[in-house]
Amino acid sequence: MTVPAAVRTARRRFLLIGCALPAAITLVAVGLMVAWLPEVPPTVATHWSGSGPDGFGPAWSVPLGTAVLGFGLVALFTGIMLVGTRDGRWGPMLRLLAALSIGTNVLLVVGITWSFGLQRGLADPLDAPGIGLPLLVSTLLAVGAGVGGWFAQPNVTAEGRTPARTVEPLDLAAGERAVWVRTTMMTRGGMVAIIVSIIALAIGTVVVAATGSAAWWVMLGVTVLLVVLAATTFVFRVRVDDRGLVVRSPLGIPRFGVPLAEVEAVAVTNVHPTAEFGGWGIRLAPDGAFGIVLRAGEALQVTRRNGRRFVVTVDDAATAAALLEALSARERVDPPAR
Amino acid sequence: MLIRVDPTSGTPIFAQIVASVHADAAAGRLNPGDRLPSARDVAGALGVNLHTVLRAYQELRDEGLVDMRRGRGAVVTEAVEPLAHLHHDIAALVARARTLGLAADTLAALVKETYR
């Protein structure tokens, strides 16, 4: 299959807005800062609090850090796009990613470069002026760049080489009742990454508490919240029966679903988490699609009466789709008196 | 896994649930270590009596297809694997019987007869 012209245009626009422009901005900023190196003190302010500079580092580290951060983010966003759209798919999430790429880049690069430039001619970095104005302006510029980046891209949606496929409804007898259930789980790698980061945060909390800082209880709160979120979103039970589709965590909450009367169409799709939903977990895509995305690959997709999609990654989605299709067809012919 | 029951069929409901689990195993939808949904969930979803589902689960335990453990529910055992191995053969045989115009009961009877 050749990639449609619209997708090729969208991809070129992504490469311009999400990759080439931010890379060029980073290059110019790093060039400027390297040129300014002889004019700034050997140690410069790199962090500010409300009352003035409170973090310092060697001057050369600022252009270096900007290069690493700027080019690194460009590589990350571009990598997500290249890997996620290998099969020719395209969607509004990618449009958002390119806009985010240029927006974050402008925020970081303009903010850092300006605060660096302010220190030219200073003998002591402690005299560095406040960065309220640079922060404000770079934020405004970043929002402008992001919004502009969004509108400079075409609104293209393409399914690529693995389109959502509809399935034949299950052959149900008139009075036959059926239920399909399946447990869907986050991949082991994802769970390990989340557990490790929670443990790191817990250790951080203990360390902060030991230093007597009052911030420890905030960190404790965040740790507890993350544990609860992880415990309720690692595993979901997916069920299809004559009430419709229900996806719920083993604890009962959170719970999501589509009632049978709301089901417009059912399909099996192939989800690419970052390219379609911007990541893993319970996600809302820019086009209004709601996803419970615990891994890449096979997923059950239900289109609601209002056109919005509900997607849950689960194995054996074809059987679930066949049953839901049969049940909703039956409901359409003979709606129950409720 | 898919469980289906037809209250108008002559087969007892519990036997239909057992047959559904067999079909799930044969279709490769069950793996050793998988947990069957709780009997209460199944009963609620199918609109059948809880004891009917429990009877079906007991039947499956007696066959060795699931292991019932307190607090863990019904867990699928290694015994599903032979069923899954036959999946393609059964699908092929049924397709062949269908093109030949053989009824399901006739095919089942023939298989039983040959097995004896």
Residues A46-105: pLDDT tens digits?
A: 888 777 788 888 888 889 999 999 999 999 889 888 887 887 788 888 889 999 999 999
Interchain pair A175, B41: CB under 8 A:
no
CATH class of B1-85: mainly alpha
Model confidence band, residue A144 (pLDDT cutoffs 50, 70, 90): very high
Determine what percent of chain A is predicted with pLDDT higher than 70: 96
Spell out where chain A has E strands: 43-49, 52-58, 89-90, 158-159, 177-185, 235-241, 244-248, 255-259, 263-271, 281-284, 290-293, 297-304, 309-313
Q: What is the pLDDT of residue A2?
A: 63
Taking alpha carbons only, the member of A216, A224, A43 closest to residue A116 is: A43
Pick the CATH number of A164-186+235-338 from 2.40.50.100, 3.40.50.2300, 2.30.29.30, 3.40.50.300: 2.30.29.30
Please determine, for residue A338, whether its predicted confidence score (pLDDT) is greater than 60. Answer: no
Residues B12-36: pLDDT tens digits?
A: 888 999 999 888 888 878 888 888 8
Pick A229 or A255 by higher pLDDT: A255
Question: B-chain residues within 8 Å CB-CB of A182?
Answer: 1
Contact residues, B window 22-41, toward A, CB-based 8 Å cutoff:
27, 29, 34-35, 37, 41
State the DSSP string of B58-105. HHHHHHTSEEEETTTEEEE-TTHHHHHHTHHHHHHHHHHHHHTT--HH
Determine what percent of chain A is predicted with pLDDT higher than 90: 26
Chain A residue nearest residue B8, CA to CA: A175
Q: What is the pLDDT of residue A336?
A: 63
ipTM of this complex = 0.75
Domain limits, chain A = 5-159, 164-186+235-338, 188-233
Residues B52-110: pLDDT tens digits?
A: 999 999 998 998 888 887 777 888 888 878 777 877 788 888 889 888 888 888 888 88
Instruction: Return the number of CB contacts < 8 Å for A and B.
Output: 58
Question: A-chain residues within 8 Å CB-CB of B35?
Answer: 183
Interchain pair B4, A319: CB under 8 A:
no
Q: What is the pLDDT of residue A20?
A: 93
Domain limits, chain B = 1-85, 86-116
State the DSSP string of A206-247. HHHHHTT-TTHHHHHHHHHHHHHHHHHHSEEEEEEETTEEEE
Chain A residue nearest residue B35, CA to CA: A183
Residue B36 contacts residue B21 (beta carbons within 8 Å): yes
Q: What is the pLDDT of residue A53?
A: 82
What is the spatial distance between Cα A301 and Cα A316, in angstroms, rounded to a whole number? 12
DSSP run (H or E) holding B2: strand B2-5
Please determine, for residue A307, whether its predicted confidence score (pLDDT) is greater than 60. Answer: yes
